[in-house]
Structure 1
Amino acid sequence: MLKYSKEIFDILSKGSFISMNSVSQANRAYFDQIEDDFENYREYYEGIGFVLESGNGYFYFSRHEQRVNAVDKLARFCDWIDRLDFLKTFNSAFGSGFVYTKAKILERISCDMELKDKATKLYADKKAFADVIDRLTDDFVKAGFVELENDLEGLYKVTASFHYLEEMVNCLNIVEGAENEIP
């Protein structure tokens, strides 16, 4: 039996990531274990219908999906593109290893009209910028792109899995004049 297979499954099956630069020592150990024996883990999880994928410093599960599900997934990903755009507007260096506080984002919103405009569009049900930033951070924590590094100081660290979002956006090709074309 593979070491940590249950713990790894519990994390990845929820749609989260295991990153090499995780704040959690256990997650870093899981990452090292998968990295050391990737092919055996890949075969093991494939046997139960999951595809273990590796990225730039992270691992995650994917599944082979029907086209309808892929279209729905792409529609949901548009929300992530807006969130990524907001964070890159906040700081263009926002990426793996970046450390921030919610207070720092709120401070920038107060003096940056572009950031303020983007923040108002992120969550229709949130009116206060503090609520928007709380929800944004919660979404990134739940997805595994960000982890709380220091609760006392409110420091959050961006994990290597953030590359997944960046890579997905970089894969998108938008062709002008192609809005009515059938794929």
Structure 2
Amino acid sequence: MRYTKEIFDILSKGGFISQNSVSQQQSNLYDAIEDDFQQYQDYYKGIGFLLEGGNGYYYFSRSENKTELADKIQRMAEWIDRIDFLKTFNTAFGSGFTFRKSNILEQFSSDIELKEKAHHLYTDLKTNDEKMDKLISDLQRQGFVELQDELDSTFKVTAAFHYIEELIDCLTIIETETEQA
């Protein structure tokens, strides 16, 4: 277990380590966890963190009290709107997808639904340009996208994006079951 500090530094801040990261360092960390998952899991459990794996990514989870859970649900609602916006932009938006902010802004001119969904994102910001900067910044901060090419500002969606998609799918399933009862 050579990378315990590096892994902790990323995951303890709510980040993800993705299999398809553009960063060679992140790919190496992913491979290290993959090779010795049980050892890393036991190590972090000893210091109060639960190492979890998803579909091509790793993250930390932990038990939360009711106040923390309520805050998390509020943040989740915001992410549902963001993901809905991104899937409206392009239904293929997911792990491995590449895009530029300019692609999204160009689509506003011909897509009324996208424009309407953007209106509800970041209501404190005025322009679509500011909203897209904030959205991309949030996606990067969470580890859902990485800058792939600085020259043309191309971003790549990482495998960690599966995490948010899977959470939303779980919410949809629960909602559907409740309606049928």
| Partner amino acid, structure 2, of 1:139 | D
Deviation at 1:42, TM superposition (A): 0.3
Helix, strand or coil for the counterpart of 1:157?
strand
Q: Which residue of structure 1 lines up, in the alignment, with residue 113 of structure 2?
A: 114
The count of corresponding residues between Structure 1 and Structure 2 is: 177
In 1: Cα distance, 2:120 partner to 2:150 partner: 28
Q: Which residue of structure 2 lines up, in the alignment, with residue 7 of structure 1?
A: 6
Deviation at 1:82, TM superposition (A): 0.3
| Partner amino acid, structure 2, of 1:57 | G
In 2: Cα distance, 1:97 partner to 1:9 partner: 25
Return the TM-score normalized by structure 1: 0.94
Q: Which residue of structure 1 lines up, in the alignment, with residue 96 of structure 2?
A: 97
Cα distance per residue 1:114-135 (max 9 Å; x no partner): 0001001110111111111000
Deviation at 1:110, TM superposition (A): 1.8
| Partner amino acid, structure 2, of 1:26 | Q
Cα distance per residue 1:87-135 (max 9 Å; x no partner): 0000000000000000000001121110001001110111111111000
In 2: Cα distance, 1:66 partner to 1:97 partner: 35
Work out the percentage of aligned pairs sharing the same amino acid: 56
In 2: Cα distance, 1:67 partner to 1:125 partner: 28
In 2: Cα distance, 1:135 partner to 1:68 partner: 26
Deviation at 1:177, TM superposition (A): 9.4
The answer to whether structure 1 residue 154 and structure 2 residue 153 are counterparts is yes
Q: How does 1:22-171 map to 2 (within 5 A)?
A: 22-171=21-170
| Partner amino acid, structure 2, of 1:82 | D
In 1: Cα distance, 2:115 partner to 2:90 partner: 14
- The runs of at least 4 aligned residues of structure 1 exceeding 6 Å deviation read none
Q: Which moved more, 1:65-74 or 1:87-96?
A: 65-74
In 2: Cα distance, 1:46 partner to 1:176 partner: 38
| Partner amino acid, structure 2, of 1:87 | L
In 1: Cα distance, 2:33 partner to 2:24 partner: 14
Q: What runs of 5+ residues in structure 2 fail to find an aligned partner?
A: none
In 2: Cα distance, 1:162 partner to 1:135 partner: 17
In 2: Cα distance, 1:67 partner to 1:35 partner: 33
In 1: Cα distance, 2:68 partner to 2:93 partner: 30
Counterparts in 2 of 1:8 and 1:167: CA distance versus 1, 3 Å = same
Deviation at 1:153, TM superposition (A): 0.8
Deviation at 1:56, TM superposition (A): 0.2
| Partner amino acid, structure 2, of 1:37 | D
Return the TM-score normalized by structure 2: 0.95
Helix, strand or coil for the counterpart of 1:26?
helix
Helix, strand or coil for the counterpart of 1:111?
coil
Q: What runs of 5+ residues in structure 1 fail to find an aligned partner?
A: 179-183
